[in-house]
Structure 1
């Protein structure tokens, strides 16, 4: 009858003749297998598209419709009797051309437009929003793409609002604004 300590007796030269050596070898082997498994999962998990749009905004607007909420804030946006005008309106029209989108304008107040944006009824909100917008915890805000000076001499950094989590759309819009934004 073989004793526990004789497990490797004569079969593996240089290996200690007890179960501690066996458990050490197994621990090392299991550790390496776990490390390989973690590496495999990390690499395959990163193969998806990043940045992502959970609601598919960029895909929806490309060759489709860009639904824009616009509040009255001259000279960035002016809601006269005709379609909206202003510097931000012009930027949105130019951006829409780059993604082959038709723009649909929805006029309203900031609060109502942000609610529609959060609920997925709009893709973008413009209207003189600034970097210190009270909506930045509720929606995604672009980086400041233009600056202007208000009536008090303070510098305002202009932004646009997108639905939270729509990072591919946000990054595409920000890349456009970096090239085409400017001083309002």
Structure 2
């Protein structure tokens, strides 16, 4: 083996491995939430919270619910609402029955140990502080898509 080849073989191998490792950082969804919701159903949980989330029987409204509906439109999805307590909604996220959950949850939510949590958004009408959306844990492409939408539409 020539001296040049020996001298550069190790640095080239290290550089190749580093470049190959960069591709692994692309957000992915182990459960495929974004791909499943896009063009299909967005399974959203709602817990009543003032004007952020209103519940009248099975009808869900309010400023935060409207934002979820608009996000669903942006990915060509139809929202299917489930109404429940925060604990019920977290159980639904953990069990794979819900794609997201909304209510009066803030960036100080105790649920962050159990589920994914978006950044806090204070610009939601009716919010008294930074409001978050709860998501299935580890669905990174899903979270990135929702946060990108919220970053465009709601002030932080």
- Residue in structure 2 matching 1:86, options 33, 45, 62: 62
- Residue in structure 2 matching 1:138, options 114, 118, 121: 114
- Residue in structure 2 matching 1:100, options 37, 61, 76: 76
Higher-RCO chain (CA-CA 8 Å, sequence separation at least 6): 2
Report the Cα offset of residue 40 of structure 1. 1.7
Report the Cα offset of residue 45 of structure 1. 3.2
Taking the TM superposition and a 5 Å limit, the aligned residue runs for 1:51-90 are: 51-90=27-66
CA distance in structure 2 between the partners assigned to 1:117 and 1:28 by the alignment: 56
For the aligned residues, what is the CA RMSD?
2.5
Going by fraction, where is helix more abundant, 1 or 2? 2
- TM-score with structure 2 setting the length: 0.86
CA distance in structure 1 between the partners assigned to 2:90 and 2:105 by the alignment: 11
CA distance in structure 2 between the partners assigned to 1:146 and 1:75 by the alignment: 14
Gaps of 5+ in 2: none
- TM-score with structure 1 setting the length: 0.74
Q: How many matched pairs?
A: 154
Gaps of 5+ in 1: 1-24
